[in-house]
Structure 1
Amino acid sequence: MCASRRRKVRPGMLHLGRFSPVRWSCEMDGLPEFFFEADGAVAGRFHPTALTRGPWDNRAQHGGPPCALLARALAAFENPEVEEPLREPADILPPVYHPRRQHPVARIAFSLLRPVPIAPLDVRVEAERLGRAVHRLQATLATSDGKVLIRADALRIRRAPSVEGMVAIAAWRPPEQCTPLVFDFFRHEVGYHRGVQLKTAFGHWGRTPIGVWGRLRAPLVAGASLTALETMVALADAQSGMGVPLDPHRFTFVNPDLSVFLTRDPVPGWVGFDITSTASPHGSGLAQSGLRDAKGLVGRAAQTLVVADRQPG
């Protein structure tokens, strides 16, 4: 049964403590069908579902979905799509035509300023400079009363024809041959961990290095196609959970930032993370990973970590 019915609130809503009610969508198994739903009346406003819930506080979102929401807006802002052939790894003919942006995202640096409540959120994007070759953009995610929660700075670089460098990387087993990886340290049954699918390509959870394939089980926004960029960013914020620096049952390692660098557009499908995480005795840590897709290396991601003892409850 859907949580909204159990809690006896008005249809389609779920109350979480002092935060505003959020919209909830039920499938037959009781899980939301998407991470966010666009507000039909207020432009740039989105309503999260419980799939956004994080592991450290049941009232707060995991950083991945809201960062992906900003990445989605940054990619689309004054950046029309063009239909271009998307080659498969084996260069199968005929090519699949896929919409691509004229200036794809090359880097996004997220500053996670405050915990993101499971409540209505407003996304705003501004252009610092839209040059011919490079676009510099800024975006914010804020509460409905204007409190900024995440700030993002992005670079978009003009697509050049047939200029794609080749970097040799070790081949991984395909996802269908890999072992499932499940986050078991979330405090609530329904959360971000139920909205992602992870497979271990090499290594063992609990130490790094480790290689993990991942994808989202639901669209980021209701009624919209899921893009590879959204998948990459939504999962990049979980790299410290895929490749933990410490036991997450004993410690928290919240990241106040996330930086994602891309040398090209990732292709749709599974995305991979080659993760190394470390923690110092002084309460700080670092998680970083090489990013890949079915075509090979695509970029890097990094997080600064704030390490603390995990409080009970």
Structure 2
Amino acid sequence: MIGCYFRRLGTDGDAELFASTDDTRSNWNFDIQHGSPPLALLTKAIEAKLSDGMRIGRLTLDILGAVPITEMRVQARVDRPGSRIAMLSAEMSALRPDGPPRAVARVTAWALATSDTADAATDRYPPLIEGPTAPLELHWKVARGYVESVEWRPQYDGSDSGRVYWMSPIANLVDDEPTTALERLAMVVDSANGIGAAIDPEKFIYMNTDTTVHLHRAPVGSDFGVRARGSIGPDGIGVTTAELFDRDGFIGTSAQTLLVQRR
């Protein structure tokens, strides 16, 4: 591991306080955070409130504003309690010296009760097998910060179905605290937008406002395959969708809404 995204500072009432590190810095703008570290930290806060026998089936990150590299305040809560279906959320606020904390990111999650459905289990796609690593051709391959916290392994087998990357986080999430497989997936899944880029990044900016992940199976391990493809509309709005895999096979999908603007 090369470092961590956040350092725990303590608590303030029911909020947890964290310091953001350089490993969170975005490839788009070095002064703000990439979307994956906030998603992973808020996922961690939600998992801490998850009841036994429940599993998260959907995560949605909404980016409410530029996420600065500063001290963060995180609060999680159960919005809709239930023994079979529950909604939880966590919000990240940036502390400001000249005013109240400003909300910059929010994650909502649906948690569902687990049961034995192994005899009915189906996968939409066959397992994604990692092959030789192709040259890294993403335009932000020389960026610093978050890009250096992930091991990127592009594949040669991209097709009309999308561009394929295998990724492994090589930084911790919070200090040296244990990290779950779901949190490790959250540490890389926001990158689908860059992987599935459908337009020239030298001519356009395409920033995602959100990331939604649906998981029909709990992820395992630290290695995740993403097959992503972007679609750009005629009026400055786009969408990136992706199929998500771990070493055992297909685990779910992700989708992101894009603001597309000419440089």
Same-fold call, TM cutoff 0.5: yes
| Aligned residue in 1 for 2:152 | 198
| Aligned residue in 2 for 1:288 | 241
| Aligned residue in 2 for 1:181 | 136
Deviation string, structure 1 residues 45-75 (Cα, Å, up to 9, x no partner)? 1111111111222210011111111111112
Computing the radius of gyration from Cα coordinates, the structure with the larger value is 1
| Aligned residue in 2 for 1:46 | 18
Secondary structure of 1:132's partner?
A: coil
Identity between Structure 1 and Structure 2 (%): 27
Q: Unmatched 5+ residue regions in structure 1?
A: 1-26, 81-101
| 1:165 partnered with 2:121 | yes
Whole-Å separation in 2 of the counterparts to 1:196 and 1:183: 14
| 1:156 partnered with 2:128 | no
Whole-Å separation in 1 of the counterparts to 2:11 and 2:137: 37
CA contact (8 A) 1:276 1:288 kept: yes
- Which of 159, 162, 183 is matched with 1:230 structurally? 183
One-letter code of the match for 1:107? R
Structure 1's 173 and 299: CA in aligned 2 closer, same or farther, altered over 3 A?
A: closer
Whole-Å separation in 2 of the counterparts to 1:51 and 1:249: 24
Whole-Å separation in 2 of the counterparts to 1:269 and 1:221: 16
TM-score, with structure 2 as normaliser: 0.89
Structure 1's 228 and 37: CA in aligned 2 closer, same or farther, altered over 3 A?
A: same
| Aligned residue in 1 for 2:68 | 117
User: Comparing both chains, which one has the higher relative contact order based on Cα–Cα distances under 8 Å and sequence gaps of 6 or more?
Assistant: 2
- Which of 131, 134, 140 is matched with 2:82 structurally? 131
Aligned length: 256
Aligned-CA RMSD value: 2.3
How far the C-alpha of 1:78 sits from its partner, in A, is 4.3
Secondary structure of 1:147's partner?
A: strand
CA contact (8 A) 1:212 1:273 kept: yes
TM-score, with structure 1 as normaliser: 0.75
| Aligned residue in 2 for 1:211 | 164
How far the C-alpha of 1:132 sits from its partner, in A, is 1.0
Q: Unmatched 5+ residue regions in structure 2?
A: none
Task: Name the structure with the higher strand share.
Answer: 2
CA contact (8 A) 1:183 1:193 kept: no
Secondary structure of 1:214's partner?
A: strand
Whole-Å separation in 2 of the counterparts to 1:201 and 1:60: 29
Displaced runs of 4 or more, over 6 A = none
Whole-Å separation in 1 of the counterparts to 2:179 and 2:201: 29
